[in-house]
Chain A
Amino acid sequence: MLVNLQGPWDPIFGRLGLILQYQYNNPVIFFAFELSLVGGAIALFWLTCAGKWRTLWSDWLTTVDHKKIGVMYIIVGLVMLFRGFFDAVMIRTQQAMAVGASSPGFMGAAHGYLPPYHLDQVFTAHGMIMILLAVTPILVGIMNIVVPLQIGARDMAYPYLNALGLWLTVSAAALVMISLFVGDFSHAGWVGLIPLTELPYSPGVGVDYWIWSIQIGSVGTTLGAVNLIATIIKMRAPGMTWGRVPVFSWTTLATNIIALTSFPVLGVTLALLTFDRYLGTHFFTASLGGDLMMYTNLFWIWGHPEVYFVVLPAFGMISEIVPTFSQKTLFGYVTMVVASMAIAAVSWSVWLHHFFTMGAGPNVNAYFSIATMLVGIPTGVKVFNWLFTMYRGRLRFDTPMLWAIGTIFLLISGGMTGMMLAVPAINYIVHNSVFVIAHFHNMFLLVAYAAFAGVTFWFPKVFGFKLDERLGKRFFWSFTLGSIMVFIPMYILGFMGMTRRLDYISHPAWYPLILAELVGVGFYAVSVFFFLAQVVVSIRNRHDLRVGADAWGTSRSLEWGTHSPVPFYNFAVTPMVHARDEWAWRRENKLDSLKPDHYVDIHMPKNTMVPLILGMLSLVLGFALIWRIWWLAGLSFLAIIVAIVVRSFEKDTGYIIPAAEVAAMEQDYLDRAREVESAGEKVGGGAVGGGVPAASRAPWNKLKGD
């Protein structure tokens, strides 16, 4: 049954003997190893000294609270974003060092410092991490935090499943990080260029790391999608009709319908590839009835909907932020919702534009070209809606608004170049060039901008204090300079004919532009510093940065109608929804008191450690399958089944908070809010007396402070 393997295999250690063949004297890997070792040691030391182990366990590791799960998702995403950025730095420095035949080589490379095999792993890891383990967890995290609050729910529909999704994502991220030190990672590009991913071409464990980390992570994403869809459909507060669901929740629904229908395709594709590699089937080989193109086809049937999976929540966040800082209702709510759903629908019929050049007929290419261009219509509707929202609004340029406007700019430039690529004739010219790279980085940067906007926007809701504005703006501007300096030269280089994934640049005329990109990476590095400084300074000054319920003073949707930080039970009593912009409606009608006339018992889900255990077991399972340690794989798989079965017999999964206890906790929150209010000229609106009237938030007042 199993394929005959090259190299060592042992019944107990599987292929682990292979690691003796890899070179561990590489200073680049050694640096990464030291970084994680020292970082990990510092974290463990701090946890022990500060006595935080118990807090970590009961407040975070075993929690089923959607807000904490969301925060952990975002932290995982940010850590992986940093890792992916490191990979990007390595790619850019390698290319800058390897221009022209006389460029020197270091550490075994003919040019630059990364031999081709190592560079291939770096860009594969960069792409896979940035898309699946950085952007996706950050977005899922924001959806997790915001959606139940926006629709007035106590938690997600399935809190236990929610935690499970998180821990599966974490174990996927852990597998990728392990691959850095134990064995190697795939060298076949993040899309898994076929037939490079087949066993004869990649006999090592790199591709297996890639397969299993995506596979485990995508199970987590699919579970999360089920959960969010069920939450939005079933758990809306009384009065929240479909016409009153906030746009971010609508886009979340559209996004997760995409996720639920597309991620299984990826799972099947990778499973078929796994059969090829492990069992010797021939789904994607050129012989014995296999078809190479089928892999590319199936991969992009998932891959293009995935693009809209990441871009739609970004649109949703912008749709919440622009009205808040324009101090107006969103222009064209209905068209916004229709546009989101239309994008989700069209997302399913465009994937072939990823392989226009593979030899399909003109009719096929024309069909997919037109389908791709159709996406421009609902997207255009959205852009115009945001612009009309800003038109004659009282605009305020707080950090989230800056990121939001940056998003719109990037959407326009990325969308335009996307339209260009949707024309098969142009695609034939720039196919596989760095123009394509610049385009999709443009689109993913848009998502990153929106994610930073979202994180800054909802941060005070979750933690009760704002992020530092001054450092936030510096973060924005240095990041923007980086984006301009890296990707405009990349667009130009694409037109000049530079192909993607180069480890050596044979054309010295490209050197100045490649150096410009390196400068851009420098700006990105500066922005990382400002981001970290922003977080540290904000935490240090958290007392001064405290906010009331309505952190921005002009917020509009329901999540601003509860305390900041949000209590673990979200709302003291389930809110009744009266309007599309519920919180704005309450503010205008002076109904924004957070003190209800009476409190009721609250039913909450209990903490559980089963999701954490399942996550760790799937990490072991993944590791065992990668190294083909069959006994360990079988054992951990059995343990997973047992844990699921045992948990399903657990009847006692919730508890009741008595009304009196709720009243006591609420009193603490109300006292805190009163303290924040009485502290005078605090940024943001009040919690007890309600939001500040819009007139006093005129832009000139705000700008004076900056």
Chain B
Amino acid sequence: MSHDNHDPLDHPEVKIASARGYFIGYAFAAAMMFISLGLVRSHAMSPAGLATTITLIALVAVLAQLYFLFKLDLSESQIWHTVAFAFTVPLFVMAVGLTLWMFHTLAARTMLPGMGM
């Protein structure tokens, strides 16, 4: 549009894309998912331990996806990626953190003690 050059491959946003990065991101996300699935299917831990472990694995998977698939990092050259990355953190803390807090109190107040979770 307002650019004079219309070859998409010349855009810096496109240039930083790499097939290797996407493949690693995908493989990593898939691996994390299969590990979680395996843990759940084999009942490897107590329900509470399982929930915690899966939550941690999910966190790792999210970070890997942000880096490998969305190319979000703290570089100076891609300032809008840095902004997006910095913006992800409070959103993540709010959405996931507040949800955890709320479900924790909900479980404490409404679930019978000793029934798991």
Contacts and interface: CB of A to CB of B under 8 A. Distances in A.
Contact of A654 (B6, B95, B103): B6
Give the size range of A's interface with the partner. 20 to 34
B80 interface: yes
A361 B80 contact: no
Among A153, A291, A361, A653, find the residue whose CB has the most chain B CB atoms closer than 10 A.
A361
Give the size range of B's interface with the partner. 10 to 19
A293 B102 CA distance: 11
A279 to B, nearest CB: 14
A235 B109 CA distance: 52
A191 to B, nearest CB: 17
B108 A361 contact: yes
A294 B95 CA distance: 12
Given A154-B1, A235-B1, A605-B1, A363 B105 contact: yes
Contacts of A297: 99, 102-103
Contacts, number: 55
Contact of B1 (A155, A348, A359, A360): A155
B89 interface: no
B44 interface: no
Given A155-B1, A605-B1, A359 B99 contact: no
B31 interface: no
B76 to A, nearest CB: 17
Interface in A146-166: 153-155, 157, 159
A36 interface: no
Interface string A154-181: 1101010000000000000000000000
Given A261-B91, A349-B98, A364 B105 contact: yes
Nearest to B110: A359
Interface in A352-367: 352, 358-361, 363-364, 367
A360 B94 CA distance: 17
A109 interface: no
Interface string B95-117: 10011011101101110000000
Contacts of B90: 345, 348
Contact of A360 (B2, B87, B91, B102): B102
B104 to A, nearest CB: 9
Nearest to A302: B95
A345 B89 CA distance: 13
Nearest to B80: A233
Contact of A359 (B95, B101, B106): B106
B6 A293 contact: no
A342 interface: no
A699 to B, nearest CB: 41
B90 to A, nearest CB: 8
Contacts of A603: 1, 6
A153 B2 contact: yes
Nearest to A653: B6
Given A155-B1, A291-B103, A574-B2, 16 more contacts: A153-B1, A257-B87, A261-B91, A265-B95, A293-B103, A297-B99, A297-B102, A297-B103, A345-B90, A348-B95, A360-B102, A361-B106, A361-B109, A364-B102, A603-B6, A653-B6
Interface of A: 153-155, 157, 159, 233, 235, 257, 261, 265, 291, 293-294, 297, 301, 345, 348-349, 352, 358-361, 363-364, 367, 574, 603, 605, 653-654
Interface of B: 1-2, 6, 80, 87, 90-91, 94-95, 98-99, 101-103, 105-106, 108-110
Task: Return the 8 tightest CB-CB contacts between A and B, nearest first.
Answer: A361-B105, A348-B94, A359-B110, A364-B102, A349-B94, A364-B105, A360-B102, A360-B106
